[in-house]
Amino acid sequence: MTSRPVALVTGSARRLGRTIALDLAAAGFDIAVHYRHSKADALATVAALRAAGAQAEAFAADLAIESQCRSLFQDVVAHFQRMDAIVNNASTFEYDTPATFSYAAMERHWAANTGPAVLLAQAFHAHVSAAGGAGCIVNLLDQKLWNPNPDYFSYTLSKAALQAATVMLAQAFAPQLRVCGVAPGVTLLSGAMTDGEFKAAHGLTPLKRSSLPADIARTVRFLIDSPAITGTTLLVDGGQHLQPQPRDAMFLAREAAAPKE
């Protein structure tokens, strides 16, 4: 059994999840690196974590499949013999609108973005209750929930459900578990966004900058380290939620960059 606290970071083979994992490792955590398809990236992240002094292992699971999601938690605990924090970072992000909505789109997003956080919380609560311990869950949300527009409709609905689940899980599983949220702004290239559109969108905030991966990782660590915080979400978006936007930032940036006739 490791003497260091253990964090499971879903979707941590690359991008934002990798940054969160490295930040937690620097703060003294051993890390379970979850991935779905990105095995090579996951192994590279594990190597980087070990080089930083952490114990780390990669675990493959398709979180949209209930049996694999449940097995993931058990596999991590079997390996590390403890669990202290879970960061639900993995996410499906596909474009649709109310006009193109389908049950299939909603089910894909819900199964990837909402359901896994609930199943992992369920297993985590049972684990810490049996062990007489405590833990923290941080769910990655989106500033869109406080500044809604109909772009990425099914994705937004799944994140709204996750935000509601954050509150209810915090109520249901206290005092053994704290459950919190972090809502990033425009942090990394995603979807069909180009480099130029990302740069423009990143500046469409009151602070003229949105969130960087390091900003999100720092906030995740703060919540895990804050024993009096539960059931709430911190918005880390440069104030983007303060400016009503009729469309997703990618489209606003595209319009701003278009040649004027």
Task: Indicate if the pLDDT at residue 159 is higher than 80.
Answer: yes
pLDDT at res. 2: 72
Q: Which CATH class is domain 6-189+210-239?
A: alpha beta
d(C-alpha 193, C-alpha 95), whole Å: 12
What are the extents of the domains in the chain?
6-189+210-239
Mean per-residue pLDDT over the chain, rounded: 93
pLDDT at res. 257: 60
DSSP 81-98: S---EEEE---------T
> pLDDT band for position 258 (50/70/90)?
low
In eight-state DSSP terms, residue 145 is G
Inter-residue contact 65 to 116 (CB < 8 Å): no
Q: Is the peptide bond before 175 cis (omega within 30 degrees of 0)?
A: yes
d(C-alpha 133, C-alpha 84), whole Å: 9
Closest C-alpha to 193, from 152, 145, 251: 251
How large is the average pLDDT for residues 103-107? 98
Task: Indicate if the pLDDT at residue 261 is higher than 60.
Answer: no
d(C-alpha 95, C-alpha 117), whole Å: 22
pLDDT digits (tens, 9 = 90+) for 32-84: 999 999 999 999 999 999 999 999 999 999 999 999 999 999 999 999 999 99
pLDDT digits (tens, 9 = 90+) for 247-256: 787 777 777 6
How large is the average pLDDT for residues 198-206? 81
pLDDT at res. 61: 98
The beta strands (E) that lie in the chain are given as: 6-9, 30-35, 56-60, 85-88, 135-140, 177-184, 233-236
* Count of Cβ atoms closer than 10 Å to residue 98 Cβ: 9
pLDDT at res. 254: 73
pLDDT at res. 191: 66
What is the residue type of 182? V
Residues 6+ apart with CB under 8 A from 70: 119, 123
